[in-house]
Amino acid sequence: MLIAAIIGIVLLVGADQLIKWWAVTELQPVGTKPFLHIGDLKILDLTYLENDGAVFSSFSGMRWFLVAVTAVMILACTYWLFRNRKHSKFLTLCLTLIIAGGIGNLIDRLFRGGRVVDYLNVKLFHFAVFNFADCCVVIGVILFACYLFFLDPRQAKGKNEAQPSEVSSASEDSKDA
């Protein structure tokens, strides 16, 4: 399971960096290319953008802070992945996506002057320009939240243990009456 996660991380980071290389070499000179349009409805364009901040350009210009936060997040998720590798394939998937996305953007921050290459521009509604690594992190975090709130075996075990004791105490109360 752990080997599959490591292979997944390597493949996702490789895909992210390959797409960013394409964006730098092919998309940067033209700026924007139409990508997904249905008739006059523009859904998605490929737009070259360099972002020196985080989500919606927050923390713009704070390269080393963002490097540190990303590195800590990657290390925490890696620790959790190694610690819980046998618990759940779903949890492993969540952490693999988060780690891969974090590494993809960390590579940019370290080797592209603190700027992350973004290229996915949602035109259907006004939204930020983002990249594949961002998608990995966001999907991983959403799935991780679903795991914590709905699938975590420790929570399910706690709920199952609480119910029998409530039933036994209710039956004891009925005996006393």
Give the tens place of pLDDT for each residue, 113-148.
999 999 999 998 888 899 999 999 999 999 999 999
Residue 139 lies in a domain: yes
Taking residues 85-114, report their average pLDDT: 94
Residue 177 lies in a domain: no
Choose the catalytic residue: 16, 108, 118, 173: 118
Residue 172 has pLDDT above 70, yes or no: no
Q: What is the pLDDT of residue 60?
A: 87
Residue 57 lies in a domain: yes
Residue 171 lies in a domain: no
pLDDT, greater one: 28 or 157: 28
Q: How confident is the model at residue 88 (pLDDT cuts 50, 70, 90)?
A: confident
Indicate if 108 belongs to the active site: no
Residue 176 lies in a domain: no
Residue 164 lies in a domain: no
Residue 16 has pLDDT above 70, yes or no: yes
Q: What is the pLDDT of residue 177?
A: 45
Please, is 59 exposed, middle or buried when counting C-beta atoms within 10 Å of its C-beta (0-12, 13-18, 19+)?
middle
| Full residue range of the structural domain in which residue 129 is found | 2-152
Q: What is the mean pLDDT of the chain?
A: 88
Residue 168 lies in a domain: no
d(CA 157, CA 63): 43
Choose the catalytic residue: 134, 152, 173, 176: 134
Q: Structurally, how many domains does the chain consist of? A: 1
Residue 166 lies in a domain: no
Residues in Cβ contact with 63 at an 8 Å cutoff, skipping those fewer than 6 apart:
52, 109, 114
Indicate if 134 belongs to the active site: yes
